[in-house]
Amino acid sequence: MALEEDDNTILDLETALLDDCSADILYGISKGKNIPECLRAEVWQVCLDVQDKGNQLVLFNEIFDLPEQNLLRDDCQKVVANLGNEDEDKVSVVSDLESILTFYCKSNGVQYEQGNGWIEILLPLISLKLPRSDTYNLFEAIKHRYIPRGCKKNGVVFHVFQLLLLYHDPELCSFLDTMRISPDLYCLSWFQSLFAATCGLPVGLCMWDLYFQKADPFFVFFLALVMIVNAREQILSMKNDSKQTIVDTLSAMPCALEADDVTDFCSLAQYYDLKTPSSFKETLVDTLFSTMMTEEDTRAASISQALCLPVTAHELVSNAAADQDPATECVRFFLVDCRPADQYNAGHLPTAFHLDCNLMLQEPAAFLTAVQGLLSAQRQALAARSAAGGEHLCFLGSGRVEEDQYTHMVVASFLQKHTHYVGMVSGGYKGKYRDLLSTVLQGAAMKLKSAEVKGKLFDYIVNPTGSSNTERHVSSSDKLGKRYRSLAPVFSIDDDQEGDSASVASPEEDEHQEVVSISTWLNKPEVVKSFKCHEVKVNGYMYDSHLLVTDSHVYVLRDLPGKRGFAHIVVRRPLSAIVKITSKKKHPELITFKYGVPEGEELVISDMDRFLIPEASKATGIISQQILKHLKSKEVSCVARFTLPPDSSDKMKPRSGDWAVTIDFLQDNHFVQWQQCKLSLASSALPRFFRSPSLLPMEMDDDWSKKQTRDSRDVMEVVSHVSHSLLKSSDRKKPRSGDWAFQISKYNSNIDFKNYRTVIDYIFIFLRMDI
The span from the CA of 145 to the CA of 22, in Å, is: 17
Q: Coil, helix or strand for 237?
A: coil
Give the ranges where 151-231 is alpha helix by DSSP (H): 156-168, 170-178, 188-193, 201-214, 219-229
Q: How far apart are CA 623 and CA 94, in angstroms?
A: 74
User: How big is the CA angle at 697 (ends 693 and 700), to the nearest 5 degrees?
Assistant: 80
Angstrom distance (rounded) from CA 509 to CA 502: 10
CA distance 499 to 493: 18
Residue 291: its pLDDT value, please? Answer: 59
Contact 321, 442 (CB under 8 A): no
**Separation CA 376–CA 374 (nearest Å):** 5
Quick one: 655 exposed, middle or buried, by C-beta within 10 A (0-12, 13-18, 19+)? middle
**592, β-bridge pairs:** 582, 610
The rounded Cα 13 to chain-centroid distance in angstroms is 39
**Could you tell me the CA-to-CA distances from 380 to 306, 393, 456, 674 in Å, in that order?**
30, 14, 8, 55
Residue type, 213: Q
Please state, in angstroms and rounded to a whole number, the distance separating the CA atoms of residues 214 and 579.
53
**d(Cα 746, Cα 239) in Å, to the nearest integer?**
75
Full set of structural domains in the chain with CATH: 1-146 (1.10.8), 148-305 (1.10.472.80), 309-465 (3.40.250), 506-630 (2.30.29.30), 640-770 (no CATH)
The pLDDT value recorded for residue 184 is 94
Residue 586 confidence (pLDDT):
66
What single DSSP character describes residue 51?
T
Give the separation between CA 521 and CA 688, rounded to whole angstroms.
36
Contact 165, 177 (CB under 8 A): no
Say what the pLDDT of residue 267 is.
92
- Measured distance CA(139)–CA(100) in Å, rounded: 9
Question: What pLDDT, on the 0 to 100 scale, is given for residue 409?
Answer: 92
C-alpha pair distances (Å), 312 with each of 317, 446, 454: 9, 19, 25
168-204: burial string, b at 16+ Cβ within 10 Å, e else: bbbebbebbeebebbbbbbbbbbbbbbbbbbbeebbb
Q: CA 496, CA 478: separation in Å to the nearest integer?
A: 12
Using only the alpha carbons of the chain, give its radius of gyration. Answer: 33
Rounded to 10 degrees, what is the CA torsion of 5, 7, 10, 11?
Answer: -110
3-state percent helix, strand, coil for the chain, nearest multiple of 5 = 50, 15, 35
CA-CA distance, 148 to 217, in Å (whole number)?
8
Residues 133 and 55: beta-carbon distance below 8 Å = yes
CA distance 641 to 650: 17
At 329 the pLDDT is 67
Q: How far is CA 17 from CA 3, 29, 54, 132, in A?
A: 21, 11, 18, 22
Locate the DSSP E strands across 378-483.
392-396, 422-425
Are 554 and 626 in contact, with CB atoms under 8 Å apart?
no
pLDDT of residue 659: 33
pTM metric for this prediction: 0.60
Contacts of 43 (CB under 8 A, 6+ apart): 13, 17, 26, 35, 209, 212, 213
Q: How far apart are CA 326 and CA 329, in angstroms?
A: 8
DSSP letter at 199? S
Q: Give the separation between CA 569 and CA 610, rounded to whole angstroms.
A: 15
Are 669 and 604 in contact, with CB atoms under 8 Å apart? no
pLDDT the model gives residue 562: 73
Please tell me the predicted confidence (pLDDT) of residue 298.
57
Distances (CA, A) of 638 to 431, 598, 633, 635: 37, 15, 10, 9
Please give the Cα distance from 145 to 289 (Å, whole number): 6
Residues in the chain: 771
Q: In what order do the strands lie in the sheet with 740-743?
A: 640-642, 659-663, 740-743
CA nearest to 688, candidates 597, 559, 566, 585: 585
Report, as ranges of residue numbers, the positions in the chain whose pLDDT lies below 50: 1, 294-296, 433-435, 437-512, 635-771
Question: 524 with 563: CB under 8 angstroms?
Answer: no
Is the Cα torsion angle 164, 166, 172, 177 positive or negative in sign? positive
DSSP H/E element including 592: strand 590-599
